[in-house]
Structure 1
């Protein structure tokens, strides 16, 4: 009974990682080609091929070693490439303060 519960948890984790790889593939497809060149992150075709193969491995290949490599490829895209694409595209990052903002909020000159 404990073994069945373990396999259930592992299958949910596997499903989540497969969805993660699919989301990375969709985000790579949505981004503009010129954003990849501007961010110096290879080409759009390169990332579509890498993430497409990674997603196919997650769906079709039951070898855990290859699945780990596929998840690493998706993580690299999401952690390194996607933020650079967002920054170049102008869609990134949080609130934009004024030029007088310091690292902890606005600088009012002691007022």
Structure 2
């Protein structure tokens, strides 16, 4: 039987650490500074861009991540438009060996507003 995307995301959420935008701001103010990764497609990023975020679309994340970060303990914050791609991305990064991955929950507009005001 095929699993719908909603079920895949629900299962993935059980294996990743989620935080809200206020917790993300606290993380971004800490040392070491986390990588902030937007896994949306480039065309989506223009509408709600977060200062300091690196855009690595979900489809190429595993191919580009090791070039971006060699430290498996580096804090990584991930977000997308609704949380689904970010959740799947977090599980993929954990599978690659990254140990400190967090998904910023919420919709992209509220995340970008909260982070941009706080940064």
Higher helix residue share:
1
Which structure has more RCO (C-alpha within 8 Å, separation ≥ 6)?
Answer: 2
Q: Which has the higher strand share?
A: 2
Question: Given the two structures, how large is their TM-score scaled by the length of structure 2?
Answer: 0.29
TM-score where L is the length of structure 1: 0.30
The structure with the larger Rg is 1
